[in-house]
Amino acid sequence: MIGKNVLTFTEIDSTNNYIRLNYSNLNNGDIVTSEVQLYGKGRGDHHWISEKGNLYFSFLLKKEFAFTDMFPLLTVISVSVIELLREYGIEARIKYPNDILVENKKICGILIETTGYQSIQSVIVGIGINVNQIDFGILNEKATSMKLRLNNETDITEILNRFIDIYNKNELIQKETIYTVYKKYSYVIGKYIHLNDEKHRIDNITLDGLLELSSEGHVKRISFNEISLEELYDDK
């Protein structure tokens, strides 16, 4: 269960970093949120520009995880964001592994970090949802927000509270059930990519988080760090 304690800041470097640095004073399920992040972190060393007006938060899952728990955890988080947006009338999809898109544009990013060396001792989940920002500068072609979809502003605290409720409900649901919902909202299944100059169809995502690709009857399984999904095609 997350969200019994919510620490709120007006300005911070990164909510994920805050949790990492204050780990010993924080408990399982604690949430840290900030109006602005000065060094918001994205995946793969990217910077997550974090101006006032959007939702930036992280939560700590302070318990041991098996490596095989990670993809199911990701499905719970992604499905929770999808359901949250649907409550506001926004239909979003999950771009494997964990970007949330609305009509090809990113509305939410999820950064999962772990602590521990040979085993996972805890997980820090960071989520950025574009809420009231309407100008993304050079990223205008790639990013969107709730306000751009709805034409009106949404209360950021209300969104966080809805996320907490939805996540707490979903984490109790059987992982196979959430996985089925994850696949239903997948943006990538059924699309095509080029790999080693061959066209491959993305047939499936397995419960352990691998992409199942087929090309001329040959099936292969690969993980997200072996491939870029920058260019996805519909069959033409």
Contacts to ligand BTN by CB under 6 A? 14-16, 37, 40-43, 46, 48, 56-58, 99, 109-111, 126-128
CA 78 to chain centre: 5
Determine which helix (DSSP H) or strand (DSSP E) holds 12, and give its type and residue range: strand 6-12
Q: Which of residues 185 and 192 has its CB atom nearest to ligand BTN in the complex?
A: 185
Smallest separation (angstroms) from ligand BTN to the CB of 20: 10
Smallest separation (angstroms) from ligand BTN to the CB of 128: 3
The rounded distance, in Å, linking the Cα atoms of 136 and 215 is 37
Q: Which of residues 56 and 167 has its CB atom nearest to ligand BTN in the complex?
A: 56
Q: What are the distances in angstroms from CA 207 to CA 59, 109, 115, 150, 223?
A: 24, 21, 23, 34, 12
Q: Which of residues 32 and 205 has its CB atom nearest to ligand BTN in the complex?
A: 32
**How many other C-beta atoms can be found within 10 angstroms of the C-beta atom of residue 160?**
21
Own/partner long-range contacts of 200-207 (Cβ < 8 Å, ≥24 apart): 201/235, 202/232, 205/96, 207/71, 207/72, 207/175, 207/176, 207/179
Q: Which of residues 9 and 212 has its CB atom nearest to ligand BTN in the complex?
A: 9
Smallest separation (angstroms) from ligand BTN to the CB of 208: 22
The rounded distance, in Å, linking the Cα atoms of 33 and 57 is 4
Smallest separation (angstroms) from ligand BTN to the CB of 111: 4
Smallest separation (angstroms) from ligand BTN to the CB of 107: 11
State the residue for tokens 């992040």: 37
Q: Which of residues 35 and 171 has its CB atom nearest to ligand BTN in the complex?
A: 35
Q: Which of residues 15 and 132 has its CB atom nearest to ligand BTN in the complex?
A: 15
The rounded distance, in Å, linking the Cα atoms of 82 and 182 is 9
Smallest separation (angstroms) from ligand BTN to the CB of 18: 8
